[in-house]
Amino acid sequence: SVIGKMRDFLNGIAGSNGTLKNRTDEYTNDIKDMEARKVEIQASIDDQVAVWQQKFTDMEEAEAQASTISQGLTQAFAPKTTS
């Protein structure tokens, strides 16, 4: 019958094992995978940011030490003025 065929067709699409259910499950799994990958990528970015922040801090400290040494050398070798 026509109604039976329509029921079978709709069950094939919207039923518990139908196309829509399968697609929904696939998309749900894809979203979960993307969310997990996003977490991994963010963790990697956070690690890299921490490394670069430490390198920047180390550079600033080295620059301050170099400035102090430079000032000391400038004063040590500056011409002495006599009165």
How is residue 60 written in tokens? 């600033």
Q: Residue 18 in 3-state DSSP? A: coil
How is residue 67 written in tokens? 């400035």
Tens digit of each residue's pLDDT (9 = 90 or more) over 6-15? 998 888 898 8
Contact (Cβ atoms closer than 8 angstroms) between residue 27 and residue 33: no
Q: Collect all residues with Cβ–Cβ distance below 8 Å to 1 and sequence separation of at least 6.
A: none
> To the nearest whole number, what is the mean pLDDT of the chain?
94
Mean pLDDT of 44-70: 98
Residue 32 CA to residue 29 CA, distance in Å, equals 5
Residue 80: band (very low, low, confident or very high) from pLDDT cuts 50, 70, 90: confident
